[in-house]
Amino acid sequence: MSVKKLAKTTKRIEDWRANWEPSGVERSIVRWLDKLGETENPNTPRMCCGALSTLAGNYRIMAEYWQLHRGDTRLCKENMYRAAWCQWAVCRWPDQAGNGSFAQFNGARMVYFWGAVIADADPGFLKEFGDLLRRPEYQPNFKIKAVNAGLSGYRAFIALALGEDEAVIRAQVEQALADLESLKSVRKGAPVELRILLDILNGDEGALDEHLKESISYERSNRDRYNLMDWHAIACAKIAMRRGMKVELDTEDCPLSLSRPAEMEYSGLELPRPKYGFPWER
């Protein structure tokens, strides 16, 4: 698939901007923050992790609101960081037996790592978050080849973002791509997401530009997507630029204002906390 030019925005974004109001999500954030702060609540792992998981999803939505509706990149990144931090806390919780599937590694969890990259989180946080997501006990045991290839691609992205051994990353991506290409039917856009990682490893700016456009085009046609922006494409563009590659792609769902690396400071950012603190703080 060759994409010569992408429209600056999409009808989906325009319709959402014209009709969506943040009040419902804002009320949900207040409600779940109150849940974490209830004095009489014993703060069981399941309650706390459920609240943090819900808050992560709410902050994800608010990140897109601040970027697409209000044009405020700083507040967008702050909400991306909050979302990532909530998922980090869930994954760090020691009693995972009581947490159901809140920490299981999948695309819904991966979006928070992409958000942390986009938010220019500090390397120490990215390292700890990436290692938590890849814990063996969080890896699902699927027998579907296409799903496993996709998860392998996610783990390769984390390794690339953390600056790990590129030979190992390349082998992992190439194997996942070969697995997908051996199948008769796969999700549209899945192979090109892996090719983007190879483009970054190869330092191939032309191929990266083409494959980013192709990936975004596929995402725009995906009726099941729940994000308005293409978080994967933005995060990949950011990693490429951090490695000195030139990226000029600038659309509302993959804006340069987010993909361009920047210095951010989150040490003073107010973050959700259980009333009695976290288990690792006691």
pLDDT in tens, 44-58: 777 888 899 999 999
**pLDDT score of 40:** 54
- CB of 92 within 8 A of CB of 280? yes
Residue 184 pLDDT grade (very low, low, confident, very high; cuts 50, 70, 90)? confident
**pLDDT score of 100:** 57
- The rounded mean pLDDT for the chain is 92
- CB of 218 within 8 A of CB of 189? yes
Mean pLDDT along residues 265-273: 95
**pLDDT score of 135:** 93
Q: What is the pTM of this model?
A: 0.95
R_g over Cα of the chain: 19
**pLDDT score of 13:** 96
Considering only CA atoms, which of 55, 104, 107, 105 is closest in space to residue 84?
55
pLDDT surpasses 70 at 107? yes
pLDDT tens per residue across span 125-172? 999 999 999 999 898 878 889 999 999 999 999 999 999 999 999 999
**pLDDT score of 188:** 82
Q: Rounded to an integer, what distance in angstroms lies between the CA atom of residue 132 and that of residue 95?
A: 14
